[in-house]
Amino acid sequence: MLKPFKKFSWELTMLSGVLIGLAYQPWKLGFLVYVGFIPIILVWMQNDSIKNFKHGYLFGFVYNLISNYWIGCNSGAEFYVVLLSLLFAAGYLAIFWGACGFIIGALNKKKPIYYLPFLIVTLEWIRSFGPLGFDWGILALTQIEYLPLLQLNSIFGPYFSTFIIISTNLYIYIILNENNINFKKILILIFSFSVLFIYGSFKKGNSSEITNSLNIAVIQPNLDPKEKWNQSIRKQNIQIIDSLYSKAISLKPDFILFPETAYPTYLTVDSRLRNQIQKKVNQSNIPILVGTVDRKIDSLGNKLFFNSTIFMKPEKNYDLYSKIHLVPFAEYDLVPEFLHPLMRLNLNIDRGIFVKGEDFKVFEWNGLRFSDLICYESSFARYSREFSKRGAKILMIQANDGWLGNSAGPHQHFSSAILRAIENNLPVVRSGNTGISGVIYPSGIVKNYKKLNTRAVFMEKVPIYSKASFYSQYGDFFAIISFVIFLFLGPVKCAKN
């Protein structure tokens, strides 16, 4: 059935890239990923390694250009800078799909490519490592509208969704590649998805035992990040935050969560403002978690800056956590200054100056242990899993997506928080400067969803669960097993033949 389409290889490549890219947009098109890979699989099955790399690279470039277009919407830098960032990001991420095509071409393409789901799981897993690691683009992100299909991620991790998606595409490709429609195979596919939905629906409504609960107030200030540190309105912005803080206190919660870099000041250095806030903490007897920039002086007298959060408790000294995974080129410069390729062009490009933290901090208050993910960190499964493994019973997320405006970026970022809740069987409480804020249950269900570009203070009763997930304890074992299976079904088996 697919033979007439084989001559349209470049068109099929572009079609796959567009379909997969659209699935990431907040338009409820996630179902496209279950058929979107079929055209590129058809192309890969008829070409050699070099051609497959080119087609895979083009597919990956188009797909990531569409899915991550929001990188080009960053209002925190000049247009040409963010445009170059988008093109470089899409070009870098496309390499993995080019590699996928190359591997398929290098192996015996005349044989069934049953290894494909394991190969793509392996590539997604590898892509998450290192300073250029990018877990944001994981295929599970497209499935937020189908929570039952995500529930097994609490056992197998986020890459299990990738396995299901690619397996479905490969299975449909095999059916379509036959001369006659095989209704038995179609029924098997329908039955398999029915089982996944039934199991997921049952698990979604039956979380582990609730041992306690906490009333948490969340502040969403909705301050323009470009104007927030403007000296002429700095005092006014502090007054706005203070008024929202007072409103949160009036709700009489057990805990208050602020967003990333909530106040336009360094709270660890600005003792006057910090003492004023501490006084309110003491009077209200309500602890708070506030995002701030921290500054330290090293032994050589150099100033070191950290993207941090400060935990202030009644009548106690504050604790700090500093962001471990910084955004390359935005929060720190990955390329040493003397090697920087743009230096000779004399372009005015702001370069990040932050230093990454080292400690996976687990805060504690009245016997409750919790941790914080600062913005970009929440897109990586490994950090939330590590905090959970160390005993955190609630994951807080502080974010500032205001730079991305009304693009798909803030929506995708909030979807990452939903994945983290499901994977670890933990509640997630998210505060975004301009949104999106909300409370996410371990099932992925969202409570008190606060839209973009709105000012809000709200309180939600957050349940505390008895234990974390299997994935929290054992990590990416499924990705490792997939790598081993790929080696056996792919290179090893082909070498024997």
Q: State pLDDT tens for residues 357-410.
A: 999 999 999 989 999 999 999 999 999 999 999 999 999 999 999 989 999 999
Report yes or no: 144 and 30 within 8 Å, Cβ to Cβ.
yes
Count Cβ atoms below 10 Å from residue 229 Cβ, excluding itself: 14
135, 189: one domain: yes
Lowest-confidence segment of 200-214, 265-279, 380-394 by average pLDDT: 200-214
77: in domain: yes
> Which CATH number do you get for residue 350?
3.60.110.10
CB hemisphere CA count around 26 (13 angstroms): 16
pLDDT at 3: 61
Q: Output the six-digit token pair for 56.
A: 């895979």
Q: Same structural domain for residues 192 and 219?
A: no
What pLDDT, on the 0 to 100 scale, is given for residue 346?
37
- Is 237 found in the same domain as 280? yes
Q: For residue 85, give the amino acid letter.
A: S
Report whether 398 contacts 372 (CB < 8 A).
Answer: yes
The amino acid at residue 358 is E
Spatial distance between the Cα atoms of 413 and 375, rounded to a whole number of angstroms: 8
pLDDT at 352 over 60: no
Tokens of 124: 């997604």
Domain that holds residue 100: 3-206+476-496
- Compute CA distances 346 → 82, 307, 342, whole Å: 17, 28, 7
Give the model's pLDDT for residue 38: 97
- Return the amino acid letter for 373: L
- State the amino acid at position 91 in one-letter form: G
Quote the number of domains for the chain: 2
| pLDDT (mean) for 44-62 | 96
Rounded to an integer, the average pLDDT of 485-495 is 81
Q: b or e along 351-363 (b: 16 or more beta carbons within 10 Å of the residue's beta carbon)?
A: ebebbebeeebbb
CB 444 within 8 Å of CB 150: yes
| Cα–Cα distance measured from residue 160 to residue 155, given in angstroms and rounded to the nearest whole number | 9
- Taking a C-beta distance cutoff of 8 angstroms, is the pair 354, 375 a contact? no
On whether residue 349 sits in a domain, the answer given is yes
Note the pLDDT of residue 299. 83
Same domain assignment for residues 79 and 99 = yes
Specify the pLDDT at position 228. Answer: 85
Claim to verify: residue 172 and residue 286 sit in the same structural domain: no
Instruction: Tell which residue, 137, 112, 117, has the closest CA to residue 34.
Output: 117
Check whether 318 has a pLDDT greater than 90. yes
Domain co-membership, 167 together with 270:
no
The answer on 155 and 20 residing in a single domain is yes
Given a contact cutoff of 8 angstroms between Cβ atoms, the answer to whether 226 and 434 are in contact is: no
Q: Please compute the mean of the pLDDT values over residues 479-493 and round it to a whole number.
A: 89
Query: 151 with 298, same domain?
Result: no
Measure CA of the first residue to CA of the last residue in the chain; give whole Å.
29
pLDDT at 211: 80
Q: Mean pLDDT over all residues of the chain?
A: 91
Do residues 177 and 226 share a domain?
no
Question: What are the residues whose beta carbons fall under 8 Å from the beta carbon of 466, sequence distance 6 or more?
Answer: 208, 209, 210, 211
471 inside domain: no
pLDDT category of residue 155 using cuts at 50, 70 and 90 = very high
* 8 A C-beta contact, residue 395 and residue 421: yes
Q: Is 310 among the domain residues?
A: yes
Instruction: Indicate if 489 and 345 belong to the same structural domain.
Output: no
Q: How many helices (H) and strands (E) does the chain have?
A: 15, 12
* Residue whose C-alpha is closest to residue 243's, from 270, 280, 214: 280
The span from the CA of 302 to the CA of 305, in Å, is 10
Residue 277 pLDDT greater than 90, yes or no: yes
**Under DSSP, is residue 308 helix (H, G, I), strand (E, B) or coil?**
strand
**How, if at all, do strands 368-374 and 363-365 pair?**
antiparallel
Same domain, 218 and 290: yes
Strand partners, 295: 305
**215 and 202 share one domain:** no
